[in-house]
Amino acid sequence: MISATELLAGYRAGRLSPAEATRDALARIEELNGSLNAFCLVDAAGALAAAAESEERWRRGEPHGLLDGVPVSVKDLLLTRGWPTLRGSHTIDPDQLWDVDAPSVARLREHNAVILGKTTTPELGWKGVTDSSLTGVTRNPRDATKTSGGSSGGAAVAVATGMGTVSIGSDGGGSIRIPASFSGVFGLKPTYGLVPIYPASPFGTLSHVGPLSWTVADAALALDVLSGVDSRDWSAGPRPAASFAAAVEAPEVAGMRIAFSPTLGYATVDPEVAALVQSAVEVFAELGAVVSMADPGIADPLDAFHVLWFSGAAAATAVLSEEQRSRLDPGLREVCEQGARFSAVDYLEATATRAALGKTMGEFHERYDLLVTPTVPIPAFEAGVETPSGTGRWTGWTPFTYPFNMTQQPAATLPCGVTSAGLPVGLQVVGPRHADARVLAAGAAFERVRPWQS
């Protein structure tokens, strides 16, 4: 597989072409999508036409944009002009006017990326695995009997198998990091507001948009494209003055104060996962970082997260008829019913818990530049179920991800090894708010020593 940065270098040198890269990506989709289900929509004709236009620009020596001719994909929660955005749900009418791009999609077009299609998601992106009655089960690229994770499962599988180089996902409780960890690719949940969102997520400011990629450099390049103001998102911040791609050109972690928390003080971790993460953390020490065992001193905010998340699900489905509601994923229907029972006071109390968590993490990062943890405490489990045990909710097996949606911090997952069964394991790197460049630099430094592209 070839990364986006390698493709661009090849285009520049005349060794590779956008048409060739796009045909290769489409061939991989044709070969693998039937068994893995990464894409719910593929526009081969449109992609080839865009690639041909890009190839002509490169031939003239006039490429335009940071991703000109690079094959990418977009999660089917993000509006994409000309294509239906069904969000994995039977309740959305495909026969309507689809004439709006989400900000992230608009930026991809501005930079002349070749958009191959839309990747699969569970219904409304509500859970940490990717399956729905509309689009079926998305499977792990290392073992098709296992889950890809979710809710950006299709995006992770697309990147892991060479069905394009970069995919744009969303993350409201781990939805980029979980599938990236399970599929063995890099995934970044940026600081909230760095990448604008429209329409606003029903899950509010828990939800972030960010890249999944084969390399850290590709994610940094994508973030340069995606970040910045969009007038439709009142909560979006300005584009940073410095390039994220520049931050990973000569990454350095020597002298960084890195806290390693194996459990966050409350999680139970599979022994094989714990051993692989421990070995990965030692890389940072070998690179000159000052690594300390330190928990941030937080309690599991699961109950507060449920109030926020389940209320959002209830709001997202409030306008549905009883007939439409009967067609929802049964688990989503349960979550919506629970969310509808929460009061405004419950929501405000959960928001207060969130604010206190943010304060604690802010103070923690005055002492530590980064926090590292496992991304997910278990390897990928059986495909087609919400939890490995068959009971409870998805949040019960991913205790390391949703706290950092509540605090809006940047958090990335790096592939750090595979289990004896060959299933990928991820290392989560968390920075203080607005320290996305630092998180990316740490990831790039790790990648140079422990590359996962094999």
273 three-state secondary structure: helix
Which CA distances in Å does 307 have to 122, 272, 338, 396?
20, 32, 9, 15
**CB 379, CB 419: distance < 8 Å:** yes
pLDDT for the residue 239: 85
Q: How do residues 298-332 score in pLDDT, each as one tens digit?
A: 999 999 999 999 999 999 999 999 999 999 999 99
**How far is 149 from 138, CA to CA, in rounded Å?**
8
pLDDT for the residue 454: 67
Q: Which residues pair with 208 in a beta bridge?
A: 171
Which CA distances in Å does 406 have to 119, 263, 293, 373?
25, 18, 23, 17
Treating both helix axes as pointing N-terminal to C-terminal, what angle do 302-316 and 344-367 enclose, rounded to 10 degrees? 130
Domains in the chain, ordered, with CATH?
4-449 (3.90.1300.10)
Of 405, 395, 374, 411, residue with least CA distance to 150: 395
Active site residue 75: yes
151, 181, 201, 227: which is the annotated catalytic residue?
151
- Model confidence at 453, pLDDT cuts 50, 70, 90, reads confident
Q: One-letter amino acid identity for 260?
A: F
Mean pLDDT, rounded, of the chain: 97
3, 17, 167, 175: which is the annotated catalytic residue?
175
Q: How do residues 134-154 score in pLDDT, each as one tens digit?
A: 999 999 999 999 999 999 999
Instruction: Tell me phi and psi for residue 68, to 5 degrees.
Output: -60, 115
Cis peptide before 152 (omega within 30 of 0): no
3, 17, 73, 75: which is the annotated catalytic residue?
75
The 10 Å CB-count burial string (b at 16+, else e) for 385-399 is: bbbeeeeebbbebbb
**How far is 315 from 336, CA to CA, in rounded Å?**
8
| Tokens read off for 388 | 């490995």
**How far is 3 from 274, CA to CA, in rounded Å?**
29
Active site residue 311: no
Of 77, 95, 73, residue with least CA distance to 85: 77
Q: How do residues 180-216 score in pLDDT, each as one tens digit?
A: 999 999 999 999 999 999 999 999 999 999 999 999 9
Q: One-letter amino acid identity for 82?
A: G
Q: Estimate to the nearest angstrom the gap between the alpha carbon of 28 and the chain centroid.
A: 21
Q: Give the CA radius of gyration of the chain.
A: 20
Q: How do residues 42-61 score in pLDDT, each as one tens digit?
A: 999 999 999 999 999 999 99
- Model confidence at 104, pLDDT cuts 50, 70, 90, reads very high
Has this prediction a pTM greater than 0.85?
A: yes
Spatial neighbors of 211 by CB under 8 A, at least 6 apart, are 166, 167, 168, 169, 187, 188, 218, 219, 222, 223, 226
Average pLDDT over residues 5-18: 98
Active site residue 132: no
424 three-state secondary structure: strand
